[in-house]
Amino acid sequence: MELCKGLAHVAIAVENLENSIKWYEKIGGKCHNRGELKTDIGVKKLALVNLFGVDFELIENEVPEKLPSGAITHVAITVVDLPKVIEYLKEKGVDSFMTEEIVNMPELFGGLRNIFIKGPDGEEIEFIEMGNF
C-alpha cells in the first residue's frame, strides 16, 4: 500500500528510561525525542532512540503494566494519510480498531496522530502520521 512508508518504530517497555537511554547511546544510539503521556493509570515517560537507522520507542510506566521490561509492546508503521489508511483497512475487513476515532497528540514528539489495531493473536499495530494536527 503506497499510503504507508515503512517501519516507524518498535516500542519496548523499560524499567528505567534514563538507564535505557544511556545503554542505547553507549552502543551507538542517539536519543532524538522525549515526551510524556498521561493515561488513566498514570504517566508514561517516552523516548525515541535511533540505533543503526531503526527508531526504538522506550516506554517507562509510572504504574507498571503486566508486560515485563524488555517486552515489545507494539510495532508502528509510518503513514502519509491516516484517514485513507483507516478507510483501506476497513475495506479489507479489519474490525479490531482499539479506538473509535483517530487519537491526536499535538504535544508528543512534535505532533502526531495515530490509531491502533489488534492482529489475530492480540498483537498491536500502530499506524502513525507525524505532523501538527
Of 131, 76, 72, 133, residue with least CA distance to 101: 133
Residue 7: predicted pLDDT:
92
- State pTM to two decimals: 0.72
Residue 110: predicted pLDDT:
93
**Superfamily of structural domain 4-130:** 2,3-Dihydroxybiphenyl 1,2-Dioxygenase, domain 1 (3.10.180.10)
Question: One-letter amino acid identity for 41?
Answer: I
Which residues of the chain are modeled with pLDDT < 50?
A: none
What is the signed CA dihedral for 92, 98, 100, 102, rounded to 10 degrees?
-90
Strand partners, 95: none
What are the grid coordinates assigned to 108, written together? 508528543
Give the total residue count for the chain: 133
Residue 66: predicted pLDDT:
65
Residue 1: predicted pLDDT:
66
CA distance 124 to 33: 22
CB neighbour list of residue 7: distance below 8 Å, 6 or more residues apart: 54, 75, 76, 77, 78
Residue 63: predicted pLDDT:
66
